[in-house]
Structure 1
């Protein structure tokens, strides 16, 4: 999926911003600059607006009338954690300079795609990132986008995502079960996959669920109904790999069955030979 390039904007009858398609030359001359995305302006949907809407009587009160103590705002968010798989091994194999370049690309791509999809990079976590969105589909799209992008680079990304209510802490941090769950799902996801606890209806049409699993979370217990999510192209490849693996397992099972049968026959023959040998060595008085 490519981001739509905007040459301008208009408003629909519902008042939503709609981007106009630019007139782009489909066959640009060599060296012709690629069109630049026009700046987009949208209403603030961040923490500041939510605080203002949650406590309108307190927005303009005198300092002496503002209640003391910490305030905690409960918000619904989709939290997404993305992690470069095997980064320590990559550093050991390619050296620190290549590793830093790869980490720089991961952050650059994550930052750029997050901005275009309406997702906020909450914090960088070494070779990973914590991402937050008010829109579950946007967060899932970002996670799948990262998996898709880096698969072409021969690097695998694992992603975990969960939607739920959390407390907005000190204006820019989040505390709550969905935050911890998303982080744990990321840690549990196989390289190149995304584990999610979100509504399947929030998945974009180029992303598919290849099955559900139960994940054991330390301190929480088993979490069932976790979706295994992949971009469609990678899901097709994954399906082919699974079919090949299934065929290999079937062939190996047949070989093991044959070996077991041969071994059984040899053991039976050896047992018969031992019985004959024992009969030949019986004492004369017993005959």
Structure 2
């Protein structure tokens, strides 16, 4: 009989929060990737193992998330409240990352670098953080990019998608996610408000950057965008009318000057 690995909440006596039952899964981490990438070298004699550093090229989705305006939050609320907020950010990030199959690669002060083999999982984590902190007095912004990078010393990554994700995070407005991927399946509770072009220092313009938000926030931002578009359209009509009136006045003035010149 096959064991039932379906997760279910367990209520431990010492905690008020449910704890997920442990899940069983095959290893999909760097160690296995190294073994599959170089099978002839796995069991060779030490004298036969080639010298020099080896670098493994892997495809990953890199995600950077940070608390926007954390310095201002600390100044307003004091260091104690700031530490509590930072602790909540790390606790939620760690917990949600584990459930969505994303790894917390490193903590970056008031932010985090996240890595996943699955782009939708990384996007879901980023959107989850934005959703969670939307009404808590501070917002989260996220940048994500998918591509090939070099796995360095077993647990670090070097490459263009890593740098791009970090810079997209820095460029994203508070409460939004900027993401770049050739193909990206967005969860049904995440909405894409369209593509934007982001000017990134040292890189230049990056086009086809997807602007992503959780559905509820997207409706709010979307209505704001629609309202702004209507105002701009109305303003454009008013400017066009003013231009026509000014053109008519100039034509009349030109005719009067012609008549004055002819009469003189």
Contact 1:207 1:231 in 2 (8 A): yes
Counterpart secondary structure, 1:174: strand
Query: Does 2:169 correspond to 1:219?
Result: no
2:163 is aligned to 180
Q: Give the deviation of 1:99 after TM superposition.
A: 1.0
- CA distance 1:145–1:197, shift in 2 (3 Å): same
2:6 is aligned to 19
Cα deviation 1:104-123 (Å, max 9, x = unaligned) = 11111101110111100001
Cα deviation 1:121-143 (Å, max 9, x = unaligned) = 00111111100001111100000
In structure 1, distance between residues paired with 2:37 and 2:27: 14
1:142 to 106, 125, 128: 125
Query: Does 2:93 correspond to 1:110?
Result: yes
In the alignment, structure 2 segments of 5+ residues that lack a partner are 254-264
- CA distance 1:130–1:33, shift in 2 (3 Å): closer
Contact 1:9 1:19 in 2 (8 A): no
Q: Count the aligned residue pairs.
A: 247
What is the root-mean-square deviation in Å for CA atoms of aligned residues?
Answer: 2.9
In structure 2, distance between residues paired with 1:218 and 1:35: 45
2:257 is aligned to none
Counterpart secondary structure, 2:52: coil
Contact 1:208 1:232 in 2 (8 A): yes
2:69 to 66, 72, 86: 86
- CA distance 1:20–1:193, shift in 2 (3 Å): closer
Mean Cα deviation higher: 70-79 or 147-156: 147-156
Mean Cα deviation higher: 226-235 or 212-221: 212-221
1:204 to 187, 191, 196: 187
- CA distance 1:212–1:50, shift in 2 (3 Å): same
TM-score normalised per structure 1: 0.77
In structure 2, distance between residues paired with 1:21 and 1:72: 39
Q: Give the deviation of 1:66 after TM superposition.
A: 1.3
Query: Does 2:82 correspond to 1:99?
Result: yes
- CA distance 1:115–1:9, shift in 2 (3 Å): farther
Contact 1:118 1:138 in 2 (8 A): yes
In structure 1, distance between residues paired with 2:48 and 2:82: 53
Larger radius of gyration: 1
Q: Give the deviation of 1:235 after TM superposition.
A: 0.4
In the alignment, structure 1 segments of 5+ residues that lack a partner are 1-7, 11-17, 25-31, 272-287
In structure 1, distance between residues paired with 2:87 and 2:103: 18
In structure 2, distance between residues paired with 1:235 and 1:76: 29
